[in-house]
Amino acid sequence: MTVTANNMRLLDTTTPSPQDGPVARPGELGPLVEEIAEAGLRGRGGGWFPTARKLAAVAGASSRSRPPVVVVNAMEGEPLSAKDARLLAHAPRLVVEGALAAARTIGAHRVILAVPEGTPVPPGLDVEVREGPRRFLSGQETALVNWLNGGSAVPTSTVPYRKGVGGRATLVSNAETFAHLALIARYGARWFRSEGTAEAPGTTLISLSVGDGPPMVLEVPVGTPVSEILHAGGVSFPPDAVLFGGFGGAWLNGAHAWSLPLSPGPLAAAGAAMGAGIVAVPPPGRRGLDQTASIVEWMAAQGAHQCGPCTFGLPAVAADLRELADRPGTADARAALVRLRRRLGLLPGRGGCAHPDGVARLVGSALEVFGRELTR
Ligand SMILES: Cc1cc2nc3c(=O)[nH]c(=O)nc-3n(C[C@H](O)[C@H](O)[C@H](O)COP(=O)(O)O)c2cc1C
Ligand code: SF4
């Protein structure tokens, strides 16, 4: 198993053939859900949650008088991610085919494709296309639903699978998830499982950034060694550090990362996460703390400033990290480190969404991986 064109399933599929299947009545589930459960498809939007369980939850929360809604989340707010845009440019009909198959499975009559404003979308797609604001939080599912309902693209406390678009039970899944779903509907669970690992079958799209260059998009079987993925980006030796999961992800020491398979379980055990398939290697010579401080400054500005952790916590963490990065070894930096460690313990679980948790994880991993920079 290597990073080769042979593994391509999504990016090589340019002429999908829509498959019509039986339509479930709202409140019931169509037969495709069993195939999806057997395939072990897990969502590619960041959380790797089992898609069949989401379909069942949405179907269970809808009724004949209130059929559910399907939303394709192609908002891709993460700056290091390019996979959804690439997928939509390359195989938009495959994504739509998957969304329509999901809609038939849960009895949905309305399917919305949500893309960032200015995204070129081919005409004649059999779905409603909505263009949303290009912001980090726009793809968070409650923010997306709120915006589709006419509000701002900021997270809310509603649960989309119960009360989403127009108050209906709503399935929000990532664009790549729907593309895999389409191929499972066509070729079946066993075919899907012929790549990937038992815990996370199939291939996955990776946005790989090396240095300051734009991300390149690869399709690899889940479980591909990180070393092979980095090789494909021209990295021949373990780098100092690798960032997994993007701006809300985690740094790992490069030598450690080099030996890992890219799969949710092993990455979680190492303290990182697959997220939406982002792998990034910093430019040579760029100090990790400095780079992390820049990311956190950007993330603090992206917060919706509705809850304490976003309004006060993130800007304070950004300022402390900047102090550490710019003036390591000084008394001010030591005081900033003490404050930072305390604040990192306070952020997770306190916001209305997981935005502050992601920043806390990123900064915690940076302190570990770039610890030597603190005493420079
Ligand atoms: C801060 C934040 C930003 C997110 N941005 C996106 C995004 O741009 N695209 C996306 O598909 N999911 C994003 N998610 C995840 C969604 O909330 C949701 O879990 C996902 O669309 C579910 O799709 P899946 O089941 O196919 O993984 C984000 C989550 C958080 C906490
Ligand atoms: S934590 Fe931040 S982004 Fe999340 S809901 Fe609260 S203010 Fe909004």
3-class DSSP state for residue 29?
coil
Q: Which residues of 1-21 are buried (b: 16+ CB within 10 A; e: fewer)?
A: eebeeebebbbebeebeeeee
In DSSP terms, which residues pair with 280 in a beta bridge? 209, 243
Task: Give the C-alpha separation, 201 to 188, whole Å.
Answer: 13
Task: Give the C-alpha separation, 292 to 226, whole Å.
Answer: 21
Q: What is the dihedral of CA 165, 170, 173, 179, to 10 degrees?
A: -100
Q: Going by CA atoms, what residue is nearest to atom 1 of ligand 2?
A: 351
Confidence bin at 22 (pLDDT 50/70/90): low
Task: Give the C-alpha separation, 250 to 271, whole Å.
Answer: 7
DSSP assignments along 216-274, one per residue: EEEEEETT-BHHHHHHHTT--S--SEEEESGGGSEEEEHHHHHTSBSSHHHHHHTT---
Q: What's the pLDDT score for residue 375?
A: 73
Atom of ligand 1 nearest to the CA of 73: 11
Structure tokens belonging to residue 310: 């976003």
> Which H or E element spans position 130?
strand 128-132
3-class DSSP state for residue 35?
helix
For 330, other C-beta atoms within 10 Å of its C-beta total 12
Q: What's the pLDDT score for residue 13?
A: 63
274 alpha carbon – ligand 2 mean position (Å) = 22
> Stretch 277-292: mean pLDDT, rounded?
93
Domains parsed from the chain with CATH numbers = 5-193 (3.40.50.11540), 203-281 (3.10.20.600), 288-375 (1.20.1440.230)
Which ligand has the shortest distance to the CA of 152? 2
Q: What's the pLDDT score for residue 9?
A: 82
3-class DSSP state for residue 72?
strand
DSSP assignment, residue 322? H
- Tokens 């993925």 correspond to 229
Q: What's the pLDDT score for residue 8?
A: 75
Cα 25 to its chain centre, rounded Å, is 30
> Stretch 68-94: mean pLDDT, rounded?
96
285 alpha carbon – ligand 1 mean position (Å) = 32
Task: Give the C-alpha separation, 72 to 356, whole Å.
Answer: 25
Task: Give the C-alpha separation, 109 to 106, whole Å.
Answer: 9
Give the amino acid at 276. Answer: A
Span 196-254, pLDDT tens digits: 999 999 999 999 999 988 999 999 999 999 999 999 999 999 999 999 999 999 999 99
Confidence bin at 6 (pLDDT 50/70/90): low
> Stretch 311-338: mean pLDDT, rounded?
94
Pocket of ligand 1, beta carbon within 6 A: 43-47, 49, 54, 73, 75-78, 137, 139-141, 172-174, 177, 353-355
> Stretch 325-334: mean pLDDT, rounded?
92
CB of 143 closer than 6 angstroms to any ligand 2 atom: no
364 alpha carbon – ligand 2 mean position (Å) = 20
Task: Give the C-alpha separation, 253 to 271, whole Å.
Answer: 11
310 alpha carbon – ligand 2 mean position (Å) = 6
Contact of 147 with 164, CB cutoff 8 Å: no
Comparing CA positions, the residue from 221, 219, 232 lying closest to residue 281 is 232
Q: What's the pLDDT score for residue 11?
A: 79
Q: What's the pLDDT score for residue 1?
A: 42
Structure tokens belonging to residue 325: 């990065």
> Stretch 24-29: mean pLDDT, rounded?
81
Q: What's the pLDDT score for residue 15?
A: 53
Kind of pairing, strands 241-244 and 216-221?
Answer: unpaired
Own/partner long-range contacts of 329-337 (Cβ < 8 Å, ≥24 apart) = 329/374, 329/375, 329/376, 333/374, 337/367, 337/374
Q: What's the pLDDT score for residue 31?
A: 87
Which ligand has the shortest distance to the CA of 41? 1
Q: Is the predicted pLDDT of residue 18 greater than 70, yes or no?
A: no
> Stretch 364-374: mean pLDDT, rounded?
91
Q: What percent of the chain has pLDDT over 90?
A: 83
Q: Going by CA atoms, what residue is nearest to atom 12 of ligand 1?
A: 45
Task: Give the C-alpha separation, 32 to 17, whole Å.
Answer: 17
Q: What percent of the chain has pLDDT over 70?
A: 95
CB of 356 closer than 6 angstroms to any ligand 2 atom: yes
Atom of ligand 2 nearest to the CA of 155: 5
Q: Is the predicted pLDDT of residue 332 greater than 80, yes or no?
A: yes
CB of 305 closer than 6 angstroms to any ligand 2 atom: yes
Task: Give the C-alpha separation, 367 to 289, whole Å.
Answer: 8
137 alpha carbon – ligand 1 mean position (Å) = 9
Q: Is the predicted pLDDT of residue 26 greater than 90, yes or no?
A: no
Task: Give the C-alpha separation, 234 to 209, whole Å.
Answer: 11
Q: What's the pLDDT score for residue 100?
A: 96
Q: Is the predicted pLDDT of residue 5 greater than 60, yes or no?
A: no
Q: What's the pLDDT score for residue 28?
A: 79
Best-predicted range by mean pLDDT among 35-44, 120-129, 322-331? 35-44
Atom of ligand 1 nearest to the CA of 248: 1
Q: What's the pLDDT score for residue 3?
A: 58
Quote the mean pLDDT of the chain.
93
Comparing CA positions, the residue from 46, 128, 118, 130 lying closest to residue 89 is 118
